[in-house]
Amino acid sequence: MTPLRRKGLWLLVILAGTLTAYLVLLCLVSILVGLRHMQETGSWVPILVGTVSFAALSFLFFRIAKHIRTRIKEDDLVNI
Protein backbone atom coordinates (compact mmCIF):
# COMPACT_ATOMS: atom_id res chain seq x y z
CA MET A 1 0.00 0.00 0.00
CA THR A 2 1.32 3.42 -0.85
CA PRO A 3 2.14 5.76 2.03
CA LEU A 4 -0.23 8.37 0.64
CA ARG A 5 -3.15 5.94 0.67
CA ARG A 6 -2.29 4.85 4.20
CA LYS A 7 -2.20 8.48 5.36
CA GLY A 8 -5.50 9.12 3.61
CA LEU A 9 -7.14 6.23 5.42
CA TRP A 10 -5.79 7.46 8.76
CA LEU A 11 -7.14 10.91 7.91
CA LEU A 12 -10.51 9.29 7.25
CA VAL A 13 -10.43 7.68 10.70
CA ILE A 14 -9.58 11.03 12.29
CA LEU A 15 -12.38 12.81 10.43
CA ALA A 16 -14.85 10.10 11.42
CA GLY A 17 -13.71 10.47 15.03
CA THR A 18 -14.15 14.23 14.92
CA LEU A 19 -17.64 13.93 13.47
CA THR A 20 -18.54 11.29 16.04
CA ALA A 21 -17.21 13.48 18.86
CA TYR A 22 -19.39 16.36 17.67
CA LEU A 23 -22.49 14.17 17.49
CA VAL A 24 -21.74 12.67 20.92
CA LEU A 25 -21.57 16.22 22.28
CA LEU A 26 -25.06 16.82 20.89
CA CYS A 27 -26.24 13.61 22.55
CA LEU A 28 -24.81 14.71 25.88
CA VAL A 29 -26.51 18.11 25.57
CA SER A 30 -29.79 16.33 24.87
CA ILE A 31 -29.37 14.20 27.99
CA LEU A 32 -28.47 17.27 30.04
CA VAL A 33 -31.57 19.14 28.83
CA GLY A 34 -33.73 16.18 29.79
CA LEU A 35 -32.16 16.00 33.24
CA ARG A 36 -32.57 19.74 33.85
CA HIS A 37 -36.28 19.59 33.02
CA MET A 38 -37.19 16.51 35.05
CA GLN A 39 -40.20 18.26 36.58
CA GLU A 40 -41.89 18.58 33.19
CA THR A 41 -43.80 15.81 31.48
CA GLY A 42 -41.95 14.15 28.64
CA SER A 43 -38.51 14.95 30.00
CA TRP A 44 -37.55 11.31 29.45
CA VAL A 45 -37.67 11.75 25.65
CA PRO A 46 -34.42 13.74 25.24
CA ILE A 47 -32.72 11.44 27.76
CA LEU A 48 -33.80 8.34 25.83
CA VAL A 49 -32.94 9.80 22.43
CA GLY A 50 -29.54 11.01 23.65
CA THR A 51 -28.71 7.64 25.18
CA VAL A 52 -29.81 5.58 22.17
CA SER A 53 -28.05 7.94 19.76
CA PHE A 54 -24.86 7.77 21.83
CA ALA A 55 -24.93 3.97 21.78
CA ALA A 56 -25.60 3.85 18.03
CA LEU A 57 -22.87 6.39 17.23
CA SER A 58 -20.33 4.54 19.35
CA PHE A 59 -21.19 1.25 17.69
CA LEU A 60 -20.97 2.71 14.17
CA PHE A 61 -17.71 4.54 14.83
CA PHE A 62 -15.97 1.47 16.22
CA ARG A 63 -17.20 -0.68 13.32
CA ILE A 64 -16.04 1.87 10.74
CA ALA A 65 -12.68 2.37 12.47
CA LYS A 66 -12.14 -1.39 12.66
CA HIS A 67 -12.96 -1.79 8.97
CA ILE A 68 -10.61 1.02 7.93
CA ARG A 69 -7.86 -0.33 10.19
CA THR A 70 -8.07 -3.74 8.52
CA ARG A 71 -7.88 -2.01 5.14
CA ILE A 72 -4.75 -0.17 6.27
CA LYS A 73 -3.08 -3.44 7.30
CA GLU A 74 -3.86 -5.21 4.01
CA ASP A 75 -0.91 -5.30 1.64
CA ASP A 76 -2.57 -6.58 -1.50
CA LEU A 77 -4.76 -3.56 -2.32
CA VAL A 78 -4.86 -2.60 -5.97
CA ASN A 79 -3.62 0.92 -6.64
CA ILE A 80 -6.09 2.76 -8.81
Nearest to 72 by CA among 23, 25, 4: 4
Per residue in 18-37, pLDDT (tens digit) is 999 999 999 999 999 999 99
Q: What is the mean pLDDT of residues 47-56?
A: 96
Structural domain that includes position 25: 3-73
Structurally, how many domains does the chain consist of? 1
Domain membership flag for residue 42: yes
Give the global pTM: 0.79
Contacts of 43 (CB under 8 A, 6+ apart): 34, 35, 37
> Does residue 80 form part of some domain?
no
CA distance 11 to 19: 12
pLDDT at 80 over 60: no
- Cα separation, 66 vs 7, in Å, equals 16
In a domain, 79, yes or no: no
Which residues are CB-neighbours of 58 under 8 A, at least 6 positions away? 20, 24
